[in-house]
Amino acid sequence: MTVTHETNTEPTMPTDTAQDQAATNEVTHLEAAQTGIPQERIAKISAAAYRIRHHALNMGEVQGQGYVGQALGAADMLAAVYGDQLRFRAEDPHWEARDRFLLSTGHYAIGHYAALAEAGIVPVEELETYGSDDSRLPMSGMSTYTPGMEISGGSLGHGLTIAVGMALGLRYQGSSARVYNFLSDGELDEGSTWEAAMGAHHHQLGNLTAMVDINALQADGKTDTVLRTEPVTEKWESFGWYTQRVDGNDVGALLVAFDNAAAQAAAVGRPSVILCDTKVGRGVPLLEDREKAHFMRIEEHEWQTCREQLTAGYEGKASA
Amino acid sequence: MSTTTEAPDTTTAAKPKLKTSAMIASFADPDQKTASAPFGHALVKAAQENDKIVGLTADLGKYTDMHIFAKAFPERFFQMGMAEQLLFGAAAGLAETGLVPFASTYSVFAARRAYDFLCLDAAEPNLNVNIVGGLPGLTTGYGPSHQATEDMAIFRGMPNLTIVDPCDSIDIEQAVPQLAASDGPTYLRLLRGNVPTVLDEYDYTFELGKAKVLRDGNDVVFISSGLMTMRALQAAKALAAHNVDVAVVHTPTIKPFDAATVLAEINTDRLAVTLENHSVVGGLFETVASAVVTAGVGKRVVPVALPDQFLDAGALPTLHDRYGLAVDRIVAKVLAELG
């Protein structure tokens, strides 16, 4: 953890072992004033994250189901990277000099589509077609369907291997574009993720940043009951990456981590990973408190409640 | 075994010399004309003309002739370590940035170990990722861990993928620039080291997607690919001594398959035989059978192929004889079929 961060002694998620406890203690919780990040910058991203969550709820309602919990949890990460970090041209998603954002977790597409709408790459009106026949927005993200979708994720553990190739290829061709790969803690089960982690360090891909959504949940249950991935921080550090672990639902902390990563980014240097502890269903208390599930069920009458809770929480926070 | 027990026999002169297996065994016949590392040299030549070409390998550069390219273009060569999922995921990533990667490993690892990465990261987006697989079929005596006897069966089901099974150094030299120029992903069944030069004796050029009639014959038609085209030509010559006139059709592109050329040759009264360095399941034989049935041609086709089983370890000549790929075995099979 970088020295500029204060360490929160309160774990933000329940853990079972001392080993987990040690790792979780590294989670930082940063108030805006402590980060040195201007309040306007945080407010802008927080507003974008609110809209991404709102879009995700609307898309989930059309389908009657979906990966809404993940979208809500990752909304701050997506808002921060699209609203604050990525260089892109909304009108030209294939602009050669763009930074690449790779969604390795294809099922997070619902959140990614919302972020692409927020970025102006996908029209907001199109979001309601999510998961429908002939839509450009399939349930699992695919590059051949959606503008701004760089890869076809979904078979987990692929994104970081592709990202390594992209970072190598961009650097070889003299591009200053950077590559961001979004993956989940479930993908840390996949051996290919670690092949790529080794490869990125070996080739000194300082133009590569990995964002790991650690929501401690995967298809069959809690991550620490399915396959223990902790200590995650130490793993990435030992693989040679510039490693930061933050509260992924704290916009200020995310922006500090991105700034730190950007400050040490180089064509030839250490790859960077931002480990983001997030909460499934974040921003909607009804869903935050629900038994966590990979594929969250939401009753028909609950969607409006979800939106109202989301808005109340956002407006309460914004006015506080 | 010696029956004396007084002292161990310390001499070796009396022992018969054993045939041993080699990892990289050459299937070239003694005194056959060969070319050294044709793939490596062809890739260098192509890369001199196309600055988008890059090379990768998974700790098998020296064993897939990629080292020739690495030496010529060190800044365009990426060693990915013994990590085949990374190898092909990264190759896809390189292609996403507009480069033309050739990524090499053994066929067993490409087909069995990295399939998901090739399928979803390279084939689904139809990227120009060129897979170079060493030791295809039965070209090593190391047993099933290294013998890719079912690589074409695995890869034929992958949409968008072009599959090339070259016969010799001529095929490889001419195929490499065409693979680089074709848009989608390709799989080359690599022949490496000292590779026989065979097709220069025929009026032949490699054309991606095309089958070529190498010689005509009135009694039998061979449909062959890969190194088995070399054996088919040798068997055709041997059969001439038995007054059997054999045509040979070389089909180096397995997918997309030139069914029109092959069907025109098969749909005759001649005995039709397929010859492949691959399992009888899912390779050239079934590709031809599928074309025949689809066209409604009522025709028996005899396969010369590896059996549907895990093969023995041993010396290549022993194994090629054991499993029916040797010229003598082909000749005997054809004579038996003709009665």
Within 8 A of B118 by CB-CB distance, chain A residues are: none
Q: Which of A3-17, A82-96, B18-32 has the lowest mean pLDDT?
A: A3-17
Q: What's the CA gap between A59 and A71, in Å, rounded?
A: 11
Cis check: omega of the bond before B30, within 30 degrees of 0? no
**Segment A236-290, tens digit of pLDDT:** 999 999 999 999 999 999 999 999 999 988 889 999 999 999 999 999 999 998 8
Q: Which two tokens stand for residue B74?
A: 């060190």
* Residues A21/A231, Cβ–Cβ less than 8 Å: no
Put simply, the answer to whether B98 touches A169 (Cβ < 8 Å) is yes
The whole-number pLDDT of residue A175 equals 97
**Segment A160-217, tens digit of pLDDT:** 999 999 999 999 999 999 999 999 999 999 999 999 999 999 999 999 999 999 998 8
Give the nearest partner residue to B86 out of A142, A155, A192, using CB atoms.
A192
Cβ neighbourhood burial of B262 (10 Å; 0-12, 13-18, 19+)? buried
User: Which residues of B are tagged catalytic?
Assistant: 84
Give ∠ CA A295-A299-A301 in degrees, rounded to 5. Answer: 150
At residue A281, φ and ψ (nearest 5 deg) are: 80, 10
Within 8 A of B86 by CB-CB distance, chain A residues are: 161, 164, 192, 195-196, 198-199
At residue B133, φ and ψ (nearest 5 deg) are: -110, 120
Mutate to test the interface with B, among A145, A166, A178, A190 (most CBs of B within 10 A): A166
Q: What's the CA gap between A18 and A33, in Å, rounded?
A: 31
The whole-number pLDDT of residue B121 equals 97
Q: What's the CA gap between A83 and A43, in Å, rounded?
A: 11
* Residues B56/B91, Cβ–Cβ less than 8 Å: yes
Q: Starting at the edge strand that comes first in sequence, how are the strands of the sheet with B212-215 ordered?
A: B212-215, B246-250, B220-224, B271-279, B301-306
Minimum CA–CA partner of B91 in chain A? A165
Per-window interface: A 114-153 vs B, CB < 8 A:
142-144, 150-152
Q: What's the CA gap between B5 and B170, in Å, rounded?
A: 57
Minimum CA–CA partner of B96 in chain A? A166
- Of all residues in chain A, the percent with pLDDT exceeding 90 is 77
Q: Of B53, B185, B209, give the one whose Cα is nearest residue B120.
A: B185
Give the nearest partner residue to B83 out of A163, A169, A199, using CB atoms.
A199
CA distance A96 to chain B (A): 8
* Residues B140/B316, Cβ–Cβ less than 8 Å: yes
Q: Of B194, B210, B212, B211, give the one whose Cα is nearest residue B202.
A: B212
Within 8 A of B115 by CB-CB distance, chain A residues are: none
3-state secondary structure at position B269:
coil
Minimum CA–CA partner of A95 in chain B? B97
Give the nearest partner residue to B89 out of A143, A161, A169, using CB atoms.
A161
Cis check: omega of the bond before A231, within 30 degrees of 0? yes
A210 Cβ neighbours under 8 A, 6+ residues apart = A160, A163, A180, A181, A183, A197, A241, A271, A272, A273, A274
Q: Is the pLDDT of residue A1 over 60?
A: no
- CA distances to A39, A83, A314, B291 from A46, rounded to whole Å, are 10, 10, 8, 60
Q: What's the CA gap between B168 and B35, in Å, rounded?
A: 9
Q: Is the pLDDT of residue A54 over 80?
A: yes
The whole-number pLDDT of residue A264 equals 87
CB of A158 less than 8 A from some CB of B:
yes
CA distance A219 to chain B (A): 20
* Residues A40/A252, Cβ–Cβ less than 8 Å: no
Put simply, the answer to whether A152 touches B120 (Cβ < 8 Å) is yes
Within 8 A of A161 by CB-CB distance, chain B residues are: 85-86, 88-90, 92-93, 117, 121
The whole-number pLDDT of residue B24 equals 60
CB of B97 less than 8 A from some CB of A:
yes
- As a dihedral over the C-alpha atoms of residue B294, residue B300, residue B302, residue B305, rounded to 10 degrees, the angle is 20
Q: Is the pLDDT of residue A2 over 60?
A: no
* Residues A102/A146, Cβ–Cβ less than 8 Å: no
Within 8 A of A144 by CB-CB distance, chain B residues are: 124-125
**Segment A130-157, tens digit of pLDDT:** 999 999 999 999 999 999 999 999 999 9
Cβ neighbourhood burial of B49 (10 Å; 0-12, 13-18, 19+)? exposed
Put simply, the answer to whether A164 touches B89 (Cβ < 8 Å) is yes
The whole-number pLDDT of residue B12 equals 54
**What does each of the 339 residues of chain B score in pLDDT, given as a tens digit?**
444 445 555 555 667 777 776 666 678 888 899 999 999 999 999 999 999 999 999 999 999 999 999 999 999 999 999 999 999 999 999 999 999 999 999 999 999 999 999 999 999 999 999 999 999 999 999 999 999 999 999 999 999 999 999 999 999 999 999 999 999 999 999 999 999 999 999 999 999 999 999 999 999 999 999 999 999 999 999 999 999 999 999 999 999 999 999 999 999 999 999 999 999 999 999 999 999 999 999 999 999 999 999 999 999 999 999 999 999 999 999 999 999
Put simply, the answer to whether A166 touches B97 (Cβ < 8 Å) is yes
Report the DSSP pairing between strands A179-184 and A100-103.
parallel
A159 Cβ neighbours under 8 A, 6+ residues apart = A102, A103, A104, A105, A151, A153, A181, A182, A183, A187
3-state secondary structure at position B72:
helix
DSSP letter for each residue of B212-229 = EEEE--SSEEEEE-THHH
Give ∠ CA B184-A175-A84 in degrees, rounded to 5. Answer: 105
Q: Report the Cα–Cα distance between both ends of chain B, in Å, rounded.
A: 43
